[in-house]
Chain A
Amino acid sequence: MKIHKHEVIIVGAGGAGLMAALYASRGGADVAVVSKLYPTRSHTGTAQGGIGAALGNLDEDQPIYHAYDTVKGGDYLADQNAALVLAEGAVEAVIELEHMGLPFDRTPDGRISQRRFGGHTREFGKELVRRACHAADRTGHMILQTLYQNCIKRNVNFFDEFQVVDTIINDGVCVGVVAIQIGTGEFHIFHGKAVMFASGGWGRCWSVSSNAHSMTGDGAAAVLRRGVPLQDMEFFQFHPTGIYKMGILITEGVRGEGGVLINNKGERFMEKYAPSAKDLASRDVVSRAIYDEVKKGNGIKGKDYVYLDVRPETVNRFFAEEGRKERIDAAYVEKKLPDILDFCRTYLGVDPVKEPMPIQPTAHYAMGGIPTNVDAQVVIDENWTVLPGMYAAGETACVSCHGANRLGTNSLVDLIVFGRRGGMHMADYVKGVDWTPLPADAGHEIESEFKRIRSSRGKMKPYQLRAKMQEVMMENVGVYRTEKTMTEAINVLRELRHEFRTNIAIDDQGYKFNTDLMEAWELGNLLELAEVTALSARNRTESRGGHSRDDYPKRDDENWLVHTLVCRAGTDDDPQYTINTAKKVDMSLAETDERFRPKVRAY
């Protein structure tokens, strides 16, 4: 096995990984970024609406308001210290992105332009505030491009199309990862002093998903298998507006620009569910409202979707009703939402300027993940014990600034703020520690696991198992859940795991670009994470944020202001999971400020 030695190894080249790479490199470390996709293909590039920061360019704004919205949006499960770091760090980080060349849209006086987004308010919920900094509806694309460009400028080492398949922990220290070079099928070891997982989410566990095919949670699954816990896995966000059946995301920015949700009676139904914020209430609230409308028979044509309407005449009518002065026209919509119009015209044959868009909630974002502190160091228990050398940032991490439900625009902030902090921390850390050697058998275990998968000659094709998993997760561990549906899901997932371990067929026996094999391995990760999600969800006997149970419809602050930590022991064939709920939510802001204490969440 070829061994590469770099002080800092970063797994993933999305926003989080690239930001960390830049800062670790600026801090003087020798950095290698290992990514299964070419960096510019990373999912960060699909983020549309914006990145939140209290710049106050258009409305009076302060980081503490942003922190408040984040905590409230997270249904009080966010660690408040992390939410504050996020909100305060956002301002500096966004300005820095501009300095790195990011072409934000501009205000008439040449500053970074900002728009409204769900749940973002001024003065602790008083009114919606323009906080989302944007570059048309391709903000994530511009962030990804800008960071990659800056990494090229700094000559950061890239290992593109190398897929990390295992992590190496020696004597309680993380010393590297094992990766397969996709083009050759060869195994490589990356030996480092610090390893960061920035490998993104696992939205492909569900059948209707906004996530790319590559979002298979490889990093989270790989560390879980090595005994690192995963935190708050029950909290997975369903974005209210995915294109019907396809799941392709329609940004909240559409509603930020005045778009409204309409049921089959032509009602703007969010007025009933969230009288104040209406269509821009938190995502969990809006997704549930859509499900409730559908349940009442108010779906369009009696089906399981509703309309998102951004036709100027509709928007202007509601602006007038609300006494708002602004008016929009077709050219404005074209300018502000070009990609959205393109998606709808391409995939639906619907022109949103003339017709409403059919939408339904779509699996979107993992609030949970690899637990870290605010410096992106991985922490493995309720006492915040650090696993030396291991870091995580971005969607795969759980710091937890998003709590039970992430606010729109806050993921991009998370990538930038915690990617940056992690990068800086790693640069310092590697200066102060010696190299821990690799274990003698590094990489052997995963190599034989791949041999095993490759030689599978069973009857099931991986896609069949994947489709079953995605359906059962959508039906049973989706927007609404109960004990019964989750137990059912867990049983099905166990069967699927058994099939996966004993009865799959791999067609491709080659080594070069064997995507058949890699997809099968990725399915194993999805199955693992799906099961952990269902187990964590069943264990939490309350409803909070993105986790809504029909059998426990209320939030229970007495018992559940705690994080879930799941650990895995046992073998891949017969894993044993333990769930620990001893980790308390950080309430440091609430200690001095009444407004941060949990209360009923109304929008």
Chain B
Amino acid sequence: MKVTFKIKRYNPEIPGKDKPYWEEFTLDNVEPTDRLLEMLHRIKWEQDGTLTLRRSCAHGVCGSDAMRINGVNHLACKVLMQDLGSKVTIEPILGLPVLKDLVVDMEPFFDHYKHVMPFFVNDTPLPADGRERRQSQFDREAFDDTTKCILCACCTTSCPSYWANGKYVGPAAIVNAHRFIFDTRDQAAKERLEILSEPQGVWRCRTIYNCTPACPRDIQVTKAISEVKLAIRKGSPEGIIKVTEIVERVVNA
């Protein structure tokens, strides 16, 4: 199969290319099961070494290669050519400053992440037997979904509220706060809920729902956000995730 790639490019160092512009590349012998990332590699390696992108694992777990593919955010390594057709449009993810071609500045994204205290807090004495803290399978299951986040930014950079206001912490940061807020072992839920109830916190989310389908890890992003919203209203995360909802998942495990 022959495929044309229309790629949005930008190179701050080359006069004439220092404004975003589109460039087309064509590849022959594209197999339906090829990953888009491999095709970008082919373009870079065989045709134009200056084409610049980030990538590492090539199987959807490191979070390096988020980009806007035919208008939707995806990891290039997790999209197969059979799902894209013979004309593919590729742009950098939106809402973060573009540095070169498909590479954006991730610092604002990680700053938002760091802002929500994305680390475990529990200053109570450790178990006297020197062993692990206990946690029931139900309590563990309550935050399972949000532990899967790979910080790829697909969600945050597909969020219209974030595009409108880059100060909004964005769905990815909320997902990572959720991971701790609903972990029964953690003790800083209150602080995190306070941070997220600030003007740039969860209330910026208008439940537009772009983020959930964008997540390559199938995290129920909007659901996590609404659970955080509920916890803020209630002043505590307790009782929000219903046991009935996770019973089945645990029993099956």
Contacts and interface: CB of A to CB of B under 8 A. Distances in A.
B49 A461 contact: yes
Given A98-B132, A331-B252, A507 B49 contact: yes
Contacts of A146: 120
B78 interface: yes
B192 interface: no
Given A41-B64, A511-B13, A103 B143 contact: yes
A513 interface: yes
B118 A183 contact: no
Interface residues of B, number: 62
B59 A347 contact: yes
B120 A41 contact: no
Nearest to A133: B132
A101 B185 contact: yes
Interface string A248-262: 100000000000000
B150 interface: yes
A348 to B, nearest CB: 8
Contacts of B58: 212-213, 248
B44 interface: yes
Interface in B128-156: 130-137, 140, 143-144, 147-148, 150-151
Interface in A342-357: 342-343, 346-349
Contact of B45 (A110, A214, A248, A463): A463
A99 interface: yes
Given A99-B133, A461-B45, A513-B99, A37 B64 contact: yes
A595 interface: no
B63 interface: yes
Contacts of B62: 37, 40-43, 45-46, 212
Contacts of A317: none
Interface stretch (A66-74, A147-155, A381-389, A547-555): A147-155
A178 B59 CA distance: 31
B7 to A, nearest CB: 15
A5 interface: no
A42 B62 CA distance: 7
Contact of B120 (A138, A150, A349, A515): A150
Contacts of B208: none
Interface in A521-538: none
Contacts of A320: none
A109 interface: yes
Interface in B20-48: 33, 35, 41, 44-46, 48
A321 B59 CA distance: 36
A463 B56 contact: no
Interface stretch (A164-172, A332-340, A438-446, A585-593): A332-340
Chain B interface mostly: loop
Contacts of A214: 56
A336 B58 CA distance: 22
Contacts of B134: 106, 109-111
Interface in A74-129: 95, 98-101, 103-112
Contacts of A339: 61
A150 B118 CA distance: 9
B150 A141 contact: yes
Contact of B35 (A104, A212, A347, A506): A347
Contact of B253 (A38, A150, A335): A335
A38 B53 CA distance: 14
A510 interface: yes
Nearest to B130: A95
A152 B119 contact: yes
Given A98-B133, A106-B135, A335 B56 contact: no
A505 B131 CA distance: 57
A152 B135 contact: no
Contacts of B14: 510
Contacts of A141: 61, 148, 150
Contacts of A462: 45
* Chain A to chain B: the 5 pairs with minimum beta-carbon distance, closest first: A101-B120, A507-B49, A110-B134, A463-B45, A516-B49
Given A38-B151, A95-B131, A101-B185, 13 more contacts: A43-B62, A110-B135, A110-B136, A141-B150, A149-B119, A152-B114, A346-B78, A347-B33, A461-B46, A462-B45, A508-B49, A512-B13, A516-B50
10 contacts: A40-B151, A101-B186, A106-B137, A152-B118, A331-B252, A334-B252, A461-B49, A506-B49, A515-B52, A515-B53
